[in-house]
Amino acid sequence: MSRHNPGKNENKKNASSGTRTPKPSVLLMGFLLILVGIFGVLYNPSNSTAATVPWEVSETGTLSFPQREEPVFTTREIEDVYAPESSDTLKLLSFESKGDNIQALLRIPANSFSSPGIVLLPGAGVSKEAEQGLAAELSKMGYSTLTLDQRNLGGINMGRDLELFKAGLEPLEYAMVYDALKAADVLAAQPEINKERLAILGESNGGRFAVLACALDPSLKGVIGISTAGYGTEETDPALIDDPEAYRFYRSIDPDTYLPILPPAKFVQIHSVNDNVISHDLALRTFALAKEPKAMYNVTEATHGYTTSMRPYLEKELSFLLN
């Protein structure tokens, strides 16, 4: 766009013809008004994608997100120092999710073509690197894995998230669920992966996010939760709640809320009867709420998280889900 500034000769011509010459201040004001109008069109919240509601929670406490855009990611192959004896291909992957870059490790079994894929969510405080022992075990079974560094390393602050929820801002836990959904999109986009054969697996707190993600993404064939359970909010009578908004928020982050909408995806739990972090009784309560298809396996070690005794059950259920 060019801008025309009348010269002295034109001013004289305009004056002789009886046409009034606009004053510079009037021209400047008009120009500024045009700029303000353009700015208003471009940045009006109703026209801004940033103003699109990033999440919703139903009256019954079910979380949902708008349709996701195509995944944006970068990958580069790195040395596998976590399982050096393996011949897997290991890639460092970064993908965009809600304006942040999420780091992940993509492990692909050697000589695999169109491999089934698993989104792997570690427990709270566990990094993607520390989860490579389980990822390597899954690779031996023939499955590729995408293991995330979850926000805050999977740690949560329910009180803070409730404050954000009440303020109309996005709780961190919602962003963590969305990261898992985006991870499934990213995994499906990898050329070595069969996008028709995807599942999600989580340990401890990662298992909770895994249940929510599986319920919200019908492309996932099933979810396996290791040493995990819901919070039991369904046992509370809503009529007795003093703070309905708090109840709705807690329902929205409780895996138990999503069990009725999980099928046809299969729900699998593997838990120790002597788990010293999340009790076996809590796991049994969650399993009782789950709908078919479902399966539960118990081990006896006094531990929390994956153990080698769980391997046969893990291999059996993954074969059912993805082969």
> What does the pLDDT look like over 303-323, one tens digit per residue?
999 999 999 999 999 999 999
What amino acid is encoded at 275 in this protein? D
Residues 31-45: what's their mean pLDDT? 36
Give the residue from 230, 195, 194 showing the smallest Cα distance to 212.
230
| pLDDT, tens digit, 9 for 90 and up, residues 80-102 | 999 999 999 999 999 999 999 99
Beta bridge partners of 115: 193
Q: Judge if 271 and 294 occupy the same domain.
A: yes
What is the span of the domain harbouring residue 22? 8-49
Q: Judge if 136 and 222 occupy the same domain.
A: yes
| pLDDT, tens digit, 9 for 90 and up, residues 264-280 | 999 999 999 999 999 99
Token pair, residue 288, equals 């009782």
Q: With pLDDT > 70 as the criterion, what percentage of the chain qualifies?
A: 84
Q: Judge if 101 and 218 occupy the same domain.
A: yes
Contact between 283 and 229 under an 8 Å Cβ cutoff? The reply is yes
Mean of the per-residue pLDDT values of the chain: 87
Q: Judge if 171 and 308 occupy the same domain.
A: yes
Q: Judge if 15 and 139 occupy the same domain.
A: no
The answer to whether residue 1 sits within a structural domain is: no
Q: Judge if 35 and 79 occupy the same domain.
A: no
Q: Tally the domains of the chain.
A: 2
Contact between 286 and 262 under an 8 Å Cβ cutoff? The reply is no
CATH number of domain containing 67: 3.40.50.1820
The answer to whether residue 3 sits within a structural domain is: no
What's the pTM?
0.84
Of 29-33, 66-70, 222-226, the one with minimum mean pLDDT is 29-33
Q: pLDDT category, 52, cuts 50, 70, 90? A: low
DSSP 17-53: HTPPPPPHHHHHHHHHHHHHHHHHHHH-GGG-GGGS-
Q: How many CB atoms lie within 10 A of CB 5?
A: 7
